[in-house]
Amino acid sequence: MTPAPLTERLTERVSDPRGPLFFPVTAYGADGSLDLDVYRTHVRRGVAAGAAAVFACCGTGEFHALLPEEFEVCVRAAVEAAQGRVPVVAGAGYGTALAVRYARLAEQAGADGLLAMPPYLVLAGQEGLLRHYREVAAATALPLIVYQRDNAVFSPRTVVELARTDGVIGLKDGLGDLDLMQRIISAVRSETPGDFLYFNGLPTAEQTQLAYRALGVTLYSSAVFCFAPEIALAHHRALAAGDGATVRRLLDGFYRPFVELRAQGRGYAVSLVKAGVRLRGLDVGGVRPPLHEPAEEHVKQLAQLIERGYALLEEDA
């Protein structure tokens, strides 16, 4: 059973409205091995730039490509780099036994919480999914956020049961079904006491955050924050302040073109982000297979788009 103070502390800290949630990329050296020094630098810069939390070794951080021992040292490095200034939440996934193992490694590494990604490959029913996440939640004292996407899609009733599960504190939505999300939020609000967190976890969540915000979902992950934190923060602050003009200018001039560029290649939600980090002067290396590097022309377009995004900020200055 998760101690209430730990759960309450993470819920309060992750809800900090000062900035978006930072999902750092995982840095590799020229030989493809982990580059922990560069990774720490990447995390430190994100925290200094104003991230509300660090989500280490999750989707953007290529969780799928990391060995268990690499995962543990990466999470530990993120914790060291964050220095307690913001919470560090680590990914956990695959089948139940492996997800439990990764959860325990994250706990040993000092993480403040877990993001539970979909179980590997299988199309499970609601009863099996509920059992899976309950076993992962029970494996450690760390609060757990469940990630809805791909083969892990939940009925409102299942989310109610998850919300009643010790240690489960929230749902991150990477599906984008707003009707389902409204029914989930309504069911949990009606049937469970206390706070339950919701996150917009779609790729380039800024593009859809106006719609999620209308549902009351104010927390979202920002891949753009990895390489252009000033742009991500400007959008985040404009949303919070109700500054529709700035939101529209950034959506029309930067985010929509970025989403269209991201759609030019499979896996670009990760590899194009890493290219953006490299363009801004931090060599985090490439991606591990089965992902592949963006086309040279797409990287050039990304460089132009980043320049345009920063020019939009100057217009507002």
pLDDT tens digit sequence for 240-280: 999 999 999 999 999 999 999 999 999 999 999 999 999 99
The half-sphere exposure of 305 on its side-chain side, counting CA atoms within 13 A, is: 26
pLDDT digits (tens, 9 = 90+) for 120-152: 888 999 999 999 999 999 999 999 999 999 999
Q: Residue 302 class from Cβ within 10 Å (0-12 exposed, 13-18 middle, 19+ buried)?
A: buried
Q: What is the mean pLDDT of residues 222-239?
A: 97
Give me the pLDDT at residue 16, please. Answer: 65
Average pLDDT over residues 32-54: 97
Which of 39, 102, 147, 212 is flagged as catalytic? 147
Closest CA to 133 of 106, 105, 171, 107: 171
- Predicted confidence band at 2 (pLDDT cuts at 50, 70, 90)? very low
249's CB contacts (< 8 A; 6+ apart) are: 312, 315, 316
Q: Is residue 190 part of a domain?
A: yes
Domain tally for the chain? 1
Residue 263 within a domain: no
Model pLDDT, residue 294 = 98
Phi, psi of 124 (to 5 degrees): -90, 155
List 222's β-bridge partners, or say none.
22
Give the pLDDT score at 315: 82
Spatial neighbors of 40 by CB under 8 A, at least 6 apart, are 77, 78, 80, 81
Q: Which of 39, 133, 172, 255 is catalytic?
A: 172
Whether residue 282 is contained in a domain is answered as no
Structural domain span for residue 168: 4-227
pLDDT tens-digit series, residues 210-224? 999 999 999 999 999
pLDDT of residue 3: 46
Closest CA to 167 of 192, 146, 142: 142
To the query of whether residue 310 is one of the catalytic residues in this protein, the response is no
274 is catalytic: no
In this predicted model, what pLDDT tens digit does every residue of 48-62 receive, in sequence order? Answer: 999 999 999 999 999
The answer as to whether 310 is a domain residue is no
Structural domain includes residue 209: yes
What average pLDDT does the segment 37-54 reach? 97
187: in domain: yes
Q: Is residue 237 part of a domain?
A: no
Mean pLDDT on 23-45 = 97
| Average of per-residue pLDDT values in the chain | 95
Helix 126-138 vs helix 156-163: angle between axes, to the nearest 10 degrees? 20
Tell me the whole-structure pTM to 2 decimals: 0.94
Residue 152 sits in a domain of what CATH number?
A: 3.20.20.70
- Residue 35 placed within a domain: yes
Residues in the chain, overall count = 317
Burial of residue 118 (number of CB atoms within 10 Å: 0-12, 13-18, 19+): buried
State residue 208's pLDDT score. 97
